[in-house]
Structure 1
Amino acid sequence: MTDAATTTPPTAAAVEASEPDAIATYLATDGADVVARMNTDFADAVLLVGRVLGGRPEATSAALVGLDARGVDAVAVDAEDEHRCRVDFDEEVTDPLMFTAALLGLVVRAREVSGEEGLTRAEQEVARLSAIRTFVTSVVAVEDVHPHLRQITFGGGDLHAFVPNGPDAFVYVLLPPPGRTELTVDQSFSWEAVPDMAEADRPVGAYYTVRRWRPEAGELDVLFVLHGDTGPASAWAARAQVGDPVALWGPRTSWDPPADTDHYVLVADETGLPAVAGVLDLLPPEASIQVVAEVASPAERQDLPDHPGATVTWLSRGGAEAGTATHLLVDAVRSLEWRGDHPYVFGGGESRALTEVRRHVRDERGCPREAVSLVAYWRHAADTDDAVEAAAADDGVEAAAAAG
């Protein structure tokens, strides 16, 4: 999902900001990913920082190599050599929620110091995301699809103005803080303001794909995978009742196939299947499509649109915990015989599983970056009992994993 920067919400690793080791925990779980995403998707911004704030004005490339609470370490390359440089934040980060703002602050400062015109990709994304709306609405219907999947319908409020922007249109479902029933945000919500909110007032939530949008009724359906109380959104969804208030920040989309695409490979676990369903609804009958879908068991397969050009490979974990069979998706994708010369690989699911798929299609299949959009919707925390719900944004500075 191609979005970024200060409006990107934090991963769950960052939510316990009051704990003494919150910064260390965040850096251990997300630091390497943040550095990788900056270097991959915001290389022009990193170069600007390296040239201007790193003291290497002749540098032709730069990369971050370290991140801590006080700043970043970078390597800038010019015609003479590689040069290590240190760039400090404007102030030390004391709350994990502030890392995105601190990183972007370096870009802003570099722009101001340089006096150069133009915008880096990071600056462009921030400007674009600042226009994203927040809709205040409520639950109007709840339906259990199976014991681990619940469809919740939102309607009312200002949702009549909602407009999907892609077949996988997704929103961040903003919920009341734990232990409370009233929303603490309204239509003026912004992620930049969250760090300044009292911890007890900060909303919780996660990204979810809109499965159906009925503009005539001003209602949308969202499928929630239930996994107990291991995530705030799952815990809320399991108890959701008609009338419960929510806010929806979005929509956003990660669907962006190149114009020459002649084949589609859709890869997902339970969390990504609503997006796959939306794509199957969109693509014309003549489209060539291969779907690889992982679920806990055959009984938990989700209904997918019957597309004449699609073949679906269902994978079962045999009841194993979600996120523990990361080889299933990549093994299935590896065994596919692709039908086109210019495939587009799209999907969503657990971070580590999609990372393996991404490496395969990029490194072994040779797919260019623009032909791969695999989004980490969540991350299994292998060393704890808690599932980490990651932002489902593939270009987010703080996203746990990202497309391409």
Structure 2
Amino acid sequence: MTKLQDDSLVRRERRTPRRRVLRVTRIEELSTTMRRVWLGGDDLEADFAFSPLGASDHIKLVPPDPATGQVVLPPPDGPRPAMRDYTIRRFDAARQELALDFVLHEHGPAGRWAIDAAPGSEIGVLGPRGTQIFPGEIGQYLIVVDETGLPAAERFLEELPAAVGLRVIVLGGSERALGDSARGAEIIWLEEAEALPKTVGEVPADVFVWAAGEADVMRGLRGYLRDDQRADPARVSIHGYWRTGHAGSLPREEEG
């Protein structure tokens, strides 16, 4: 797939991936469909690779084996168990805890694990393999996400300089509020994806567009932005996080 990022705006850095079994330390209920799970333990390194403005950075989760209840990390070159990609929401170096936000559903092993997770529950955490650092010295951002992209959207809202203008379009009518992280940004809640092009409208030249969600919806947004050259490709980063009818995570580098 053609990449929409330009290295002059998006800085890429490789990381040395690490393998850990972590335990739930605490849980925050974000809405009826989302919860934040904090993970810690002796395997969590103090220098965990958390990069400001690396809002799409992610790790792979290895849920416990459903038959044994044990977490078995895959050998580097061996068979891969069921794993899922999750955005790194936050790393608290002082408490040595890692936060991940989960959409609660029965469709996959990580979602099912999160429904029943409690302090002491274990899960495998692999990576991250790399990071993409998005630009901070820029006029405006347009962020388009569904519920799966909200953790990354909140990171942008928290980590971008205060002088950067922010417009966020949230697809799907999520019950989750963005809270204090919104810091005066324009937030639009849009239930129908068909209305997305009209809602996006014209894109000013100084805007950087970052979007993540259902792959076909993201592909439609990419096409709209390419039509009539509405946006400079160097200022567009679109990610298909999942696809209707497809089991499992899509590769995070796949464009919508």
**What TM-score do you get using the length of structure 2 for normalisation?**
0.83
Report the counterpart of residue 179 of structure 2 in structure 1: 303
**What is the CA distance between 1:304 and its match in structure 2?**
5.5
Equivalent residue runs for 1:45-124 within 5 Å: none
Report the counterpart of residue 402 of structure 1 in structure 2: 255
Q: Secondary structure at the match of 2:249?
A: coil
Query: Given the alignment of the two structures, is residue 141 of structure 1 paired with residue 30 of structure 2, yes or no?
Result: no
Q: Secondary structure at the match of 1:204?
A: coil
Equivalent residue runs for 1:2-401 within 5 Å: 37=1, 40=2, 128=14, 131-159=16-44, 160-167=46-53, 168=55, 169-185=57-73, 189-190=75-76, 193=77, 196-197=78-79, 202-227=80-105, 229-251=106-128, 252-257=130-135, 261-297=138-174, 299-303=175-179, 305-308=181-184, 310-316=185-191, 325-333=192-200, 335=201, 337-338=202-203, 340-381=204-245, 388-394=247-253, 401=254
Q: Secondary structure at the match of 1:143?
A: strand
Whose helix proportion is higher, 1 or 2? 1
Q: Which amino acid aligns with 1:211?
A: R
Q: Name stretches of at least 5 consecutive residues in structure 1 with no aligned partner.
A: 1-36, 42-124, 317-324, 382-386, 395-400
Whose strand proportion is higher, 1 or 2? 2
* Larger relative contact order (CA 8 Å, sep ≥ 6): 2
**What is the CA distance between 1:359 and its match in structure 2?**
1.3
CA contact (8 A) 1:226 1:238 kept: yes
Q: Flag as ranges the 4+ runs of structure 1 deviating above 4 A.
A: none
Would the alpha carbon gap of residues 362 and 203 (structure 1) be closer, same or farther in structure 2, given more than 3 Å must change?
same
- Over the aligned positions, Cα root-mean-square deviation in angstroms equals 2.6
Q: Which amino acid aligns with 1:161?
A: D
Q: Which has the larger radius of gyration?
A: 1
Q: Which amino acid aligns with 2:255?
A: A
Number of aligned positions between the proteins: 244
